[in-house]
């Protein structure tokens, strides 16, 4: 688990990708999404709630996720988000774009100018 002093700034647009990926496995409410991201990244990614909920509502507005109220594990009213068919397509697009970006960055980092 990384030290608490480390502060990770998510790359712009990557939160959308992470949310869509979380929901690919099934419907989750906001708290569960944040917890999943934390656990799946081995506590490295700590998503701020201030970023998470505007992102969820933005994705819902775009039609990539859908929301419905339901009962949580503790039988409380919670808002569950699920991936739509448009969201599934968008997830594939985002993953492809992310992989290309990371490969390009890796090439730049590994670049060694030719020795004369």
Partner 1 sequence: MPALIRSWLPFWHSAAVPCDDVAPQIDEELMFHFRALVEENLNRGLPSDDAWADAQRRFGSLDHYANQTWRVDMAHQLTVQRIVIFGLLALTLLCGWLWLQVHSLNGQNSQLLELVQNAAAQEKPATEMTPYPIEISPDEIREFSKISINFGKLQLNGNDISVVPISCKLGVTGLVLIGDGKFHYAPTADQMFDGQFRTILLRFNPQDLDALLKLEEGKKVTDKGTYEMAKQLLGSVFRHSYHSGMDALIPPQGALSAALNSKQHGDLLVSFGPKEAVVYSFTDRKQLYEQK
Return the residue of 34, 65, 83, 91 that touches partner 1, per CB under 8 A. 34
Return the residue of 3, 7, 42, 76 that touches partner 1, per CB under 8 A. 76
With residue 101 as reference, give the H or E element that holds it.
helix 85-110
Query: Is residue 65 within 8 Å of 59, Cβ to Cβ?
Result: yes
Return the residue of 57, 70, 96, 97 that touches partner 1, per CB under 8 A. 57
In the window 84-103, what residues touch partner 1 (CB under 8 A)?
A: 84-85
Query: Which region among 12-20, 77-85, 97-105, 107-115 touches partner 1 (by CB under 8 A)?
Result: 77-85
The Cα 28–Cα 36 span in angstroms is: 9
Is residue 58 close enough to count as binding partner 1 by CB under 8 A?
yes
Q: Which has the closest alpha carbon to 55: 77, 87, 78, 26?
A: 87
The helix, strand and coil proportions of the chain, stated in percent and rounded to the nearest 5, come to: 55, 15, 35
Return the residue of 10, 14, 66, 95 that touches partner 1, per CB under 8 A. 66
Residue 10: Cβ-neighbour burial (10 angstroms; 0-12, 13-18, 19+): middle
Residues that contact partner 1, how many (by CB under 8 A): 23
What is the binding site for partner 1 (CB under 8 A)?
A: 29-31, 34-35, 48-50, 53-54, 57-58, 61, 63, 66, 72, 74, 76-79, 84-85
């Amino acid at each position: 688990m990384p030290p608490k002093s480390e502060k990770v700034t998510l790359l712009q647009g990557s939160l959308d990708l992470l949310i869509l990926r979380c929901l690919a496995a099934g419907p989750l409410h906001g708290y569960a999404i944040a917890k999943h991201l934390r656990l799946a990244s081995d506590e490295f990614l700590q998503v701020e709630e201030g970023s998470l909920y505007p992102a969820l509502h933005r994705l819902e507005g775009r039609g990539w996720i859908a929301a419905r109220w339901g009962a949580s594990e503790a039988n409380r009213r919670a808002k569950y988000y699920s991936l739509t068919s448009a969201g599934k397509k968008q997830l594939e697009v985002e993953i492809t774009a992310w992989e290309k970006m990371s490969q390009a960055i890796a090439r730049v980092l590994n670049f060694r100018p030719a020795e004369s």
